[in-house]
C-alpha cells in the first residue's frame, strides 16, 4: 500500500475556509453548485479532529 500525502496552502483565515465549507450559501457561490450537506458534515468532522 502506498500512502499519498498532499498539502494545500490557502490564502485565507481558517475561519473563512471553515465557513466556505459549512455555510450553504457561501459554498454554493464558490463551487457554482448547490449545497452538499453530506460533504459539509464530513468536512466538519475532519476539521474538529484537526483543531480539537
Is pLDDT of 3 > 90?
yes
CB 44 within 8 A of CB 22: yes
Is pLDDT of 2 > 90?
yes
CB 27 within 8 A of CB 14: no
Q: What is the pLDDT of residue 11?
A: 93
Q: What is the pLDDT of residue 13?
A: 93
Is pLDDT of 41 > 70?
yes
The Cα 47–Cα 44 span in angstroms is 5
**Residue for cell digits 459549512?**
22
pTM of the model: 0.46
**Residue for cell digits 471553515?**
18
Q: What is the pLDDT of residue 8?
A: 86
Give 12-34 pLDDT, tens digit per residue.
Answer: 998 988 888 778 778 778 877 76
Amino acid at each position: 500500500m502506498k500512502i499519498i500525502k498532499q498539502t494545500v496552502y490557502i490564502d485565507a483565515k481558517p475561519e473563512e475556509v471553515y465557513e466556505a465549507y459549512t455555510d450553504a450559501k457561501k459554498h454554493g457561490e464558490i463551487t457554482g453548485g448547490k449545497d452538499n450537506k453530506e460533504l459539509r458534515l464530513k468536512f466538519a468532522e475532519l476539521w474538529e479532529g484537526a483543531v480539537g
